[in-house]
């Protein structure tokens, strides 16, 4: 049924607005990477100075017998004054040999290594950390508290590079660059390595410039004593994103958070889609919870913090609602196709040309920030959006050549065939989400890890993260069990 001209025009305009809104993450990413070079001029280094406060390192540990001994040894070998560093391992009722390993280290290094045992464990990382924090803050010695994971490896000068920012009393906490450091990387850990360059080395530099940090890395956050005391002397509990909530509370208390890109901490990351899904589902659900908790902060500028700024709000919701933006753009574009609107193809080209330019600019800028990771993950950097998305970018950039190739391969296509082909292109976003979702289930089949890897390369690692975000929406809506699930670590990290 044909629509009156006025109604059709109004509908086309509405759909164009929806496509524009749906590309919000693309424009936000472009903005972040345009801001990034300003970090060379606008940073905290002018206020940093050599500073070595007494640091209490709190290491939460549950069944970490395979890694905790090496972690303690590496902490003791840090380029930091020996008399100003103490290690508190909070044993969360471990059932393996974690207590024995830690007690041996405590005997070897009396006064420098302390074993704290929780008789009842399994309540989550925040509760474990608070057990150690209460002990440390109960004594006057500590001037700063380093919170970390049991398996990570700090490069020898990382703590010194972080602590220099605490020379400025306005700084409440400093976080480091968590890099994927497995010795035997597979395709998934290589993708994670590229993701961490983009999300940390690049994006957090931009957040330094804009004045608001989204999250202190859970595996490496150095707090001043005053900062922890200002937020109640404990890590907030009740959410699955205790590190992000701590970051927010610290900034709401008026203290500055700083990302130190030159302090490198190596971590072991999941090697299977299922393990990554469980880890990131916890993170994504935590962010959904915090979005509701801080609903009175968003887009409300304040003199005391930058969390309510327009730039930070757009960044937060671009990531949190990425699947929704993707679906909105795809449905609006497909609706334009159904209306036989002449602008549908032009809008498609605009959207994917913008995406391709942003992708090329951001990935080229990102990989040079960490050449070591980029050297082993160049394929994953190139194919981060997936083979399917790369083809769409080429079709948008070179429509005439693409049409010629299509004719050579399939002959002259009729209207129905062209409509089906256009539908596949316009709906690629939702299709890639379903494909990434299916990769998790394919992994359980015979030769499933190989098949899942092919699917991730085809549909894109970003689509996998979006699929996990959709799952977080569903789990939160259903109020599914939100217990803290530990990611298995076996000591693959090498310094």
Q: What residues does each domain of the chain span?
A: 5-25+322-477, 42-316
DSSP string, 381-439: HHTTT-HHHHHHHHHHH-HHHHHHHHHHHH-SPPHHHHHHHHHHHHTHHHHHHHHHHHH
On the CB side of 476, CA atoms within 13 Å amount to: 20
> Would you give the DSSP letter of residue 219?
T
- The two three-digit tokens of residue 146, written as one number: 């380093």
Question: 324 burial class (0-12, 13-18, 19+ CB within 10 angstroms)?
Answer: middle
Q: What is the pLDDT along the chain (495 residues), one digit of tens a residue?
A: 466 778 888 888 999 999 999 999 999 999 999 999 999 999 999 999 999 999 999 999 998 888 899 899 999 999 999 999 999 999 988 888 989 999 999 999 999 999 999 887 777 888 999 999 999 999 999 999 999 998 899 999 999 999 999 999 999 999 999 999 887 889 999 999 999 999 999 999 999 999 999 999 988 999 999 999 999 999 998 888 999 999 999 999 999 999 999 999 999 899 999 999 999 999 999 999 999 999 999 999 999 999 999 999 999 999 999 999 999 999 999 999 998 777 888 999 999 999 999 999 999 999 999 999 999 999 999 999 999 999 999 999 998 888 888 888 877 777 888 888 889 999 999 999 999 999 999 999 999 999 999 999 999 999 999 999 999 999 999 888 766 555 555 556 665
d(CA 293, CA 297): 9
24-45 burial code (b ≥16 CB/10 A, e <16): bbbebbbbbbebbeebeeebbe
Q: Which CATH class is domain 42-316?
A: alpha beta
CB of 137 closer than 8 Å to CB of 143? no
Contact 436, 460 (CB under 8 A): yes
């Amino acid at each position: 049924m044909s629509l009156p001209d006025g109604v059709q025009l109004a509908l086309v305009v509405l759909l164009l607005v929806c496509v524009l809104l749906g590309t919000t993450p693309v424009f936000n990413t472009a903005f972040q990477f345009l801001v990034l070079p300003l970090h060379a001029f606008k940073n905290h280094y002018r206020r940093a100075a050599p500073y070595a406060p007494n640091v209490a390192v709190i290491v939460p540990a549950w069944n970490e017998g395979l890694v905790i001994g090496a972690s303690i040894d590496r902490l003791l070998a840090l380029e930091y004054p020996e008399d100003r560093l103490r290690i508190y391992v909070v044993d969360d009722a471990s059932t393996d040999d974690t207590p024995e390993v830690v007690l041996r280290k405590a005997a070897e290094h009396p006064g420098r290594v302390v074993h704290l045992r929780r008789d009842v464990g399994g309540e989550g990382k925040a509760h474990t950390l608070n057990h150690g924090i209460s002990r440390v803050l109960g004594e006057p010695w500590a001037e700063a508290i380093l919170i970390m994971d049991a398996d990570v490896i700090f490069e020898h000068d990382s703590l010194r590079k972080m602590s220099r920012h605490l020379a400025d009393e306005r700084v409440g906490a400093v976080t480091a660059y968590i890099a994927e450091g497995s010795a035997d990387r597979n395709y998934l850990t290589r993708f994670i390595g590229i993701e961490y360059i983009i999300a940390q080395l690049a994006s957090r530099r931009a957040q330094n410039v804009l004045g608001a940090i989204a999250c202190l890395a859970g595996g490496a956050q150095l707090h001043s004593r005053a900062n922890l005391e200002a937020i109640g002397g404990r890590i907030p509990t009740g959410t699955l994103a205790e590190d992000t909530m701590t970051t927010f509370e610290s900034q709401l208390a008026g203290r500055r958070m700083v990302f130190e890109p030159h302090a490198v901490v190596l971590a072991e990351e999941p090697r299977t889609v299922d393990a990554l899904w469980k880890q990131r589902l916890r993170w994504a659900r935590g962010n959904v919870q915090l979005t509701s908790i801080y609903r009175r902060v968003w887009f409300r500028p304040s003199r005391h913090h930058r969390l309510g700024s327009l730039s930070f709000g757009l960044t937060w919701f671009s990531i949190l609602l990425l699947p929704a933006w993707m679906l909105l753009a795809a449905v609006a574009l497909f609706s334009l196709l159904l209306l036989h609107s002449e602008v549908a193809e032009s809008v498609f080209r605009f959207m994917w040309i913008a995406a391709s330019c942003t992708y090329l600019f951001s990935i080229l800028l990102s990989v040079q920030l960490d050449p070591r990771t980029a050297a082993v993950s160049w394929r994953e950097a190139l194919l981060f959006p997936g083979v399917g998305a790369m083809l769409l970018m080429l079709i948008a950039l070179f429509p005439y050549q693409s049409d010629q190739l299509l004719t050579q391969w399939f002959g002259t296509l009729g209207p129905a065939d062209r409509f089906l082909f256009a539908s596949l292109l316009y709906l690629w976003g939702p299709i890639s989400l379903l494909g990434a979702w299916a990769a998790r289930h394919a992994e359980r089949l015979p030769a499933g890890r190989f098949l899942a890897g092919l699917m991730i390369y085809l549909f894109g690692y970003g689509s996998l993260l979006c699929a996990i975000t959709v799952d977080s929406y569903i789990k939160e809506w259903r109020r599914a069990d939100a217990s803290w699930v530990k990611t298995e670590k076996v000591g693959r990290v090498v310094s």
